[in-house]
Amino acid sequence: MNTLPFSRFEMMIAWRYLRAKRREGGVSVMTWISLVGVALAVFALIATLAVRTGFRVEFVSTILGSNAHATVYASPYVNEAGQTVNTFDNYEAKAEAMRAIDGVTRAAAIVKGQVMASANNRNTGVEVFGETYEDLLTIPRIVNPQIRRGAIENYRKGVAIGTGVARKLGLAPGDRITLISPDGFQTAFGTSPRVSAYEVVYIFGVGRYDIDQTRIYMPREEAQAYFNRAGVVDEFEVQVTDPETVERLTAALARAGGPDALVWTWKNASGGFLRALEMEDNIMFIILSILVMIASLNIVSGLIMLVRNKGRDIGILRTIGFSEGAVLRIFFLCGASIGVAGTAAGVVFGCLFAIYIDPIFRLVNYLAGGGIWDPQYRLLSELPAKLEPGDVFFAVFLSLFLSFVVTLFPARRAARMNPVEALRYE
């Protein structure tokens, strides 16, 4: 009997073999085990790929949204007075030269320093960034943070601080914060610490622990006076159109900064984190791919049992004229159907997990008593996930490919079964 490949008749027989029967409950159980195994493996792969992608996107976004893409700083040099300095003079002209470079969208001259902050009998170390109000408005994560209190419009009247600084010192908008620098005034008795108090006008939370816990923004003129940087700045913050290719602009930025200028990009600063993420991604992908392969192999065991139980049926089909190809296709459809159904279920549950990861994670955190996600060590305030069509397609392709390949072996065995041997004891 010659039938068209994957004809309706072959599909009907394959579906008949997959349906549960009381006396063949073992086959039915193996079918369900195989289907659930494939579904769980695809679910785990999609969920992991989504979290991996979301983590990298969120991590890079917080870096690029609240930090410079490149920093131009001065290497120490000796000026005409014989003093060793590492600051920039004539900074407005140099900043304008950097803005004129093709691909540069922002170049801000800033004053930077580390001091101790004090309020309400509490102390913490902070990093002060002296920025103009106009330059501050060009930092996306500061203007549109996850958490905000106060008004950024009042920046010229005080300072802006991270939520972590505010929490440590118990501060709210309108309170005053005292900054203490050991590099102060020279007196007859030595160096006197420089102490100044400022009003907190704006509190921001960008969602990255190391920024929220340490950063303070101060008007640049006030920072120049506080750090004794009259007429000079410490460095330039530069943002570019394509942060991924910022290295191509480092030479031009160094020339614009002067003969003693050096450039430090965001990849230099966070390259270790990114390489660690990439290595972890590759390892997790290999492990989960093996998991999908193991789940697909469950189909083999189920089909082998099915072929053994259906030996009499195979003999009859071959006797009435079914070709080896027709028998192979029938059992291939059995295994492929399990793979397709399991993959579809895994895709649905994996996508739902990625979409609703926040409420799911909050529930898990609540059931576990809290403390599962500590941003102090993970730098991000929450677990991110981002579904990419390419990741979903790859998970589907891998699952279906493995399911189809492993199905061929027991299907081929069924096709090659001798009908005489199959019917000898019937």
Listed range (68-82, 283-297, 318-332) with the worst mean pLDDT: 318-332
Q: Which of 155-159, 221-225, 246-250, 420-424 is predicted with the least confidence, judged by mean pLDDT?
A: 420-424
pLDDT band at 23 (very low <50, low <70, confident <90, very high): low
Asked whether the beta carbons of 347 and 10 are under 8 A apart, the reply is: no
Res 372 pLDDT > 60: no
The answer to whether residues 139 and 203 belong to one domain is yes
Residue with the bigger pLDDT between 16 and 257: it is 257
C-alpha–C-alpha distance, residues 9 and 13, integer Å: 6
43-81 pLDDT, tens digit each: 988 888 888 888 777 777 777 777 888 999 988 866 666
Are 211 and 318 found together in one domain? no
pLDDT at 139 over 80: yes
pLDDT at 26: 45
How many of the other CB atoms lie within 10 Å of CB of 48?
Answer: 21
* Secondary structure class of 233 (helix, strand, coil): strand
Two tokens, residue 169: 């010192």
pLDDT digits (tens, 9 = 90+) for 330-360: 777 888 888 888 899 999 998 998 888 877 7
Q: Name the more confident of 80 and 175.
A: 175
- Tell how strand 122-131 and strand 215-219 pair up: parallel
Residue 243: inside a domain: yes
When mean pLDDT is compared over 92-101, 291-300, 325-334, the highest value belongs to 92-101
Q: What is the pLDDT of residue 179?
A: 93
Pairing of strands 176-187, 147-150: unpaired
Of 363, 310, 361, 370, nearest to 334 by C-alpha is: 310
Point out the domain boundary residue: 259, 290, 323: 259
Check residue 21 and give left, alpha or beta (phi > 0: left; psi -120 to 50: alpha): beta
Query: How far is residue 378 CA from its own chain's centroid?
Result: 11
Closest CA to 68 of 163, 157, 138: 138
Question: Is residue 82 located within the same domain as residue 21?
Answer: no
- Residue 206 structural domain: 76-259
Domain identity same for 29 and 175: no
244-257 mean pLDDT: 90
Do 239 and 96 fall within a single domain? Answer: yes
Same domain, 160 and 302: no
pTM of structure: 0.65
When pLDDT is cut at 50, 70 and 90, the band that residue 82 belongs to is low
How does the average pLDDT of the chain come out, rounded? 81
Q: How many domains does one find in the chain?
A: 2
336 in any annotated domain: yes
